[in-house]
Amino acid sequence: MLMYFVLHFKGLWIFNLYRILYMASPSNYSTALVSEFLLICFPNYQSWQHWLSLPLSLLFLLAMGANVTLLLTIQLEASLHEPMYYLLSLLSLLDIVLCLTVIPKVLAIFWFDLRSISFSACFLQMFIMNCFLAMESCTFMVMAYDRYVAVCHPLRYPSIITDHFVVRATIFVVARNGLFFLPVPVLSSRLRYCAGNIIKNCICTNLSVSKLSCDDITFNRLYQFVAGWTLLGSDLILIVLSYSFILKAVLRIKAEGAAAKALSTCGSHFILILFFSTVLLVLVITNLARKRIPPDVPILLNILHHLIPPALNPIVYGVRTKEIKQGIQKLLRRL
- Helices 163-181, 218-252: axis angle to 10 degrees equals 150
| Mean pLDDT for the stretch of residues 275-282 | 75
Q: Please give the C-alpha separations between residue 95 and each of 134, 207, 293, in angstroms, as whole numbers.
A: 12, 23, 28
- CB-based burial label for 90 (10 Å; 0-12, 13-18, 19+): buried
Instruction: Count CB-CB contacts under 10 A for residue 84.
Output: 19
pLDDT score at 32? 46
Cβ-contact 91, 142 below 8 angstroms: no
pLDDT number for residue 31: 45
DSSP code per residue over 88-129: HHHHHHHHHHHHHHHHHHHHHHHHH---EEEHHHHHHHHHHH
Amino acid 108: pLDDT? 94
pLDDT at 27: 43
Q: Which is more confident, 24 or 54?
A: 54
Per the DSSP assignment, residues forming a β-bridge with 38 are 116, 198
pLDDT at 331: 87
Tell me the sheet residues that pair with 327.
none
**DSSP 3-state assignment of 193?**
strand
Q: What percent of the chain has a predicted confidence (pLDDT) above 90? A: 47
Categorize the per-residue pLDDT at 249 as very low, low, confident or very high, splitting at 50, 70 and 90.
Answer: confident
**pLDDT of 145 over the 50 cut:** yes
Q: What is the pLDDT of residue 42?
A: 83
DSSP 142-164: HHHHHHHHHHH-TTTHHHHS-HH
* Nearest alpha carbon to residue 329 among 147, 138, 72: 72
The more confident residue out of 23 and 297 is 297
Per-chain mean pLDDT for the chain: 84
Over residues 300-325, the mean pLDDT reads 86
Report d(CA 264, CA 254) in Å as an integer.
Answer: 16
Q: What is the pLDDT of residues 2-52, one digit of tens each?
A: 555 455 545 555 545 555 554 444 444 434 456 789 999 887 777 777 888
316 pLDDT above the threshold of 80: yes
Residues 70/86, Cβ–Cβ less than 8 Å:
no
Whole-prediction pTM value? 0.86
CA 140 – CA 137 distance, rounded (Å): 5
* Of the listed ranges 4-8, 85-89, 113-117, 199-203, the one predicted with least confidence: 4-8
Is the pLDDT reported for residue 248 higher than 50? yes
> 239 or 49: whose pLDDT is higher?
239
Range with the lowest mean pLDDT among 7-16, 55-64, 175-184, 212-221?
Answer: 7-16
Q: Among 53-62, 115-124, 288-297, 312-321, which stretch is predicted with the lowest mean pLDDT?
A: 288-297
pLDDT score at 322: 83
CA 307 – CA 258 distance, rounded (Å): 36
What CA–CA distance (Å, rounded) separates 89 from 324? 12
Write the pLDDT tens digit of every residue in 107-144: 999 999 899 999 899 999 999 999 999 999 999 999 99
For β-strands 116-118 and 198-199, DSSP reports them as: unpaired
How far is the first Cα of the chain from the last one, in angstroms, to the nearest whole number? Answer: 23
SS3 36: strand
